[in-house]
Structure 1
Amino acid sequence: MEYLAPGSGGGAELLAPVPGGGVGADGPSPDSAGELIEPSCGDTTAVPGATAAEAGGEEQAPGLLLRLLRRQEIAFAAVGAGNTLLGMALTVFWLKVLGSDWPPAVSVVLAYCLSILAAFVAHRTLVFRVRGHLWRDFGRFIVVNSGGLLLNTVGVQLAVGTFDLPATPATVVVMGLVAVASYFGHRYFSFRRAPEPAAEGDR
């Protein structure tokens, strides 16, 4: 059976039937049961510029410091500076609490133990943003921090005591270099994570 449809010039044109009883014209057409056949909307082609959330992916939000300072290196320096001030405050606190009955070195050790815990939590949650492997990360963090302490001790001793360099600039240079080394140590050792395996569709 053929159908008459209005033509673009005002006349009528014959439309051939399509399998299933529909009419071969643009738009939805009735099938043999009289139901409309809607155009397919199953195209899942990714839209350029779509976000990871829209594409079904999940992206971990950056930490507070990274949102404020934009760069991980600066956030690391900010945490280090804050932890240094905390260590100083804790040392003074323990000196006052323990008094003259205890050697001053005990106050330094107690302050170091507390400040290194605070530094670990801050670096893990605010700077490097990692999860899992808590005790492994903490052990590696202790190793890197202890190595930094050793490098600072030896470096300052050599610069000031052996080579007789000016104390203040030599100390600043040595500790600055050790701080840079500590950053890479924490990034690639303390909080290192293996790359995630590629999805099947990306291979």
Structure 2
Amino acid sequence: MASERAVGLDAPDDLVAPPAGMHGDRGPLFRLIRNQKLAFLVVGVLNTGIGFGFYTLFLAAGLPYLAALVVAHVCAVLCAFVLYRNFVFVVRGHVLRDLARFELVYLASLGTNLVLLPFLVEVVGLGPLLGQAVVTFLTTLISWFGHRHFSFRRASRPSHDAAIPGGHR
């Protein structure tokens, strides 16, 4: 079905669909960036910078690097949730369920981060900021695929015929 295809930058508004089963109106960012996948990536890059900024701030405040990572994680996840939900995919309802699913994706990233960052700092000898920059690449990939397939996903709406046993009236 044409309205279900995600198409390029030159497509009419009614032919662009959210990626991977996400449902909802296009967010305000879509007015500037005509491709919702690209808007998703722009918000991800912005939030990665915000998260890295929080991490740097908490390190500068004297927190140990792993404590700074956990506190920065909480701040960055809440910020990312608001940005994605309000500027990329304007989904309605299910705020707590969406936030829980969103956080599950980020917990997978945090777990990866909590394993790799000490390895890079303690074993490889990188500084905490450089180590975090290296880990960010991998955790960005985890987040991208997790959010595409899970975070804001809504159940597909069955067609009228599919809702009727046997497919007919």
TM-score, normalized by the shorter chain, greater than 0.5: yes
Contact 1:128 1:187 in 2 (8 A): no
CA distance in 1, matches of 2:122, 2:103: 27
Question: When you count helix as a share of all residues, which structure comes out higher?
Answer: 2
1:104 match: 63
CA distance in 1, matches of 2:122, 2:49: 26
Seen in structure 2, the aligned counterparts of structure 1 residues 74 and 174 have a Cα distance that, compared at 3 Å, is farther
Matched, 1:125 2:82: no
CA distance in 2, matches of 1:175, 1:107: 15
1:73 match: 37
Equivalences, count: 140
Q: Tell me, which stretches of 5 or more residues in structure 1 are unaligned?
A: 1-50, 53-58
1:151 is aligned, of 112, 123, 132, to 112
Q: Which has the larger radius of gyration?
A: 1
Q: Aligned ranges for residues 16-165 of structure 1 at < 5 Å?
A: 61-87=25-51, 88=53, 92=57, 104-105=63-64, 109-156=70-117
Seen in structure 2, the aligned counterparts of structure 1 residues 61 and 174 have a Cα distance that, compared at 3 Å, is same
State the AA in 2 paired with 1:198: S
Alignment RMSD (CA, Å) = 4.1
CA distance in 2, matches of 1:152, 1:190: 20
2:140 match: 179
Q: Secondary structure, in 3 states, of the residue corresponding to 2:90?
A: coil
Contact 1:91 1:110 in 2 (8 A): no
CA distance in 2, matches of 1:185, 1:67: 25
- Deviation string 1:1-57 (CA, Å, 9 cap, x unpaired) is xxxxxxxxxxxxxxxxxxxxxxxxxxxxxxxxxxxxxxxxxxxxxxxxxx98xxxxx
State the AA in 2 paired with 1:77: L
State the AA in 1 paired with 2:47: N
CA distance in 2, matches of 1:166, 1:91: 15
Q: Tell me, which stretches of 5 or more residues in structure 2 are unaligned?
A: 1-12, 15-22
CA distance in 1, matches of 2:75, 2:113: 20
- Structure 1 residue 193: deviation in Å? 0.9
- Structure 1 residue 150: deviation in Å? 1.6
For CA contacts below 8 A with separation 6 or more, give which structure has more relative contact order. 2
State the AA in 2 paired with 1:104: L
- In the superposition, the TM-score normalised over structure 2's length comes to 0.59
1:190 match: 151
- Structure 1 residue 157: deviation in Å? 5.2
Q: Secondary structure, in 3 states, of the residue corresponding to 2:77?
A: helix
- Structure 1 residue 146: deviation in Å? 1.4
